[in-house]
Amino acid sequence: MRSLLAFSRSIDALSRLVGKIVAWVILIVVVISATNAVSRKVFDMSSNAWLELQWYLFGTIFLLAAGYTLLNNEHVRVDVLATKFSERT
């Protein structure tokens, strides 16, 4: 049992580390998105490569941050369903 708890703690530690790294990736995505929007509106230049990069990074953020979000109990709950069930359910 101790080995399983140690394994669980190591997975939690890895999820925390990945979550903190992903937080910085979010900043990079925001800068890319803002730069792309400004260049499109101000300079009338657009690149599909930047849009593709933006979407790939959004997907990566979603997949990598899911464990961190669940670990910290910060995931979004659907209140319409949650209010119909008991707390245990």
User: 35, 49 in Cβ contact below 8 A?
Assistant: no
What is this structure's pTM?
Answer: 0.64
Written as one string, the DSSP assignment of 4-71 is: HHHHHHHHHHHHHHHHHHHHHHHHHHHHHHHHHHHHHHHS----HHHHHHHHHHHHHHHHHHHHHHHH
Tens of pLDDT, residue by residue, the chain (89 residues): 888 999 989 998 998 999 999 989 899 899 988 988 898 888 888 778 888 888 898 898 988 888 888 888 777 766 777 677 777 76
pLDDT at 44: 82
The predicted pLDDT at position 7 comes to: 94
Domain positions in the chain are 2-82
